[in-house]
Structure 1
Amino acid sequence: MLSLQEMSDRLEIQDLLTRYTHAIDTRDWDALDDIFTPDAVIDYSETGGARGGVAQIKRWLAVAMARFPFFQHMVAAPKLELDGDSARCRSILFNPMLHRAEDGTEQLFFVGLWYRDRLVRTESGWRIAERHEEMGYAHNAPPMSPIPTLAETDR
């Protein structure tokens, strides 16, 4: 039987994962400050993105996601391993995205991946200390120009 603390931790972590998806889908990059620890490492490199700290990733996302007029990040089935004030989580992401090419044509495609996270309990609640995107698949992905690098968005 789960303890009240474990039930609370699981619900708080589920809420944290949900807040992440809403922050990304509404392009509220500053909301990521309340989702990640200040020293978090975010690694989207396996899926073609950047790897860096929260401030760097926020700047990068604002540029990298501009080519997509619509997307949804649907996180499901988090597998949690709680250990006191820390946790490991692997969750599924299903991500339909609409790409707009430079000529204005649009194409819907789908990405499936996993988030591998290390979480910590802070004075402000649970936060993600490390996030790694693990690529699963892409379906119907259009040809796209390269995603900007961190260096290109840090200028």
Structure 2
Amino acid sequence: MSHLGNIADRFEIEALRGEFTDAAMMRDYDRVASLFTPDGTLRFPDAGTEITGRPEIRVGAERLQGLWQYFVQSTHPGTIQIHGDDTATGRAYVAEFGRMRDGSSHRNHGIYHDRYQRTADGWKFVERTYELRYVDTTPLPGTAPGRTDV
């Protein structure tokens, strides 16, 4: 692969990671699922959750997001390693906070450990695993302005 091809792959993978955060924040569950290979897996080991396959990822994302009154996630670039022409691995760093519908609050910092696959539709997640590194359950004093579902 050419040096320019490697740069393009990294750019496309970073865009994929950005799409995931945007889709989660916008509660666009169809788009979340579309970012995975058909047999891709999304894992949250600390929550005891593993979801495999696009239909299950779509339903699981909606179920998980439905637990939140509001949720804010910021994902920061990490590493990307290209392995040949069609596979890659990487990490992205996450800061998030929100309030659950049960009234509990969470500030989390974590790492997404990713495996990617080039497909006919571009780079997709084969596997995305969230490793929780820090959690703070101190009640959040703020609100989500303008939200009617809070």
For the superposition of Structure 1 and Structure 2, which TM-score range results when normalised by the shorter chain?
Answer: 0.7 to 0.9
**Does structure 1 retain, via aligned residues, the 8 Å contact 2:92–2:112?**
yes
Question: Normalised by the size of structure 2, how large is the TM-score?
Answer: 0.82
Question: Normalised by the size of structure 1, how large is the TM-score?
Answer: 0.79
Matched, 1:47 2:80: no
**Does structure 1 retain, via aligned residues, the 8 Å contact 2:33–2:57?**
no
List alignment gaps of at least 5 residues for structure 1.
143-155
**Does structure 2 retain, via aligned residues, the 8 Å contact 1:71–1:95?**
yes
Q: Deviations over 1:80-127 (max 9, x none)?
A: 1111211000111111112232xxxx4543111111010011111000
Question: Secondary structure of 1:27's match?
Answer: coil
Aligned-partner residue type, residue 49 of structure 2: A
**Does structure 2 retain, via aligned residues, the 8 Å contact 1:23–1:31?**
yes
**Distance in 1, Cα, partners of 2:87 & 2:32:** 19
**Does structure 1 retain, via aligned residues, the 8 Å contact 2:32–2:57?**
no
Partner of 2:15: 15
Give the number of aligned pairs.
136
**Does structure 1 retain, via aligned residues, the 8 Å contact 2:78–2:93?**
yes
Partner of 2:111: 114
Matched, 1:132 2:129: yes
| Aligned pairs for 1:71-90 within 5 A | 71-83=71-83, 84-90=85-91
Change beyond 3 A, Cα 1:22–1:49:
farther
Partner of 2:37: 37
**Does structure 1 retain, via aligned residues, the 8 Å contact 2:40–2:127?**
yes
Partner of 2:145: none
Question: Secondary structure of 1:69's match?
Answer: strand
Q: CA-atom RMSD, angstroms? A: 1.8
Which runs of at least 4 in structure 1 moved beyond 6 Å after TM superposition? none
List alignment gaps of at least 5 residues for structure 2.
140-150
**Does structure 2 retain, via aligned residues, the 8 Å contact 1:50–1:60?**
no
Aligned-partner residue type, residue 61 of structure 2: L
Relative to its length, the structure with more strand (as a share) is: 2
Partner of 1:146: none
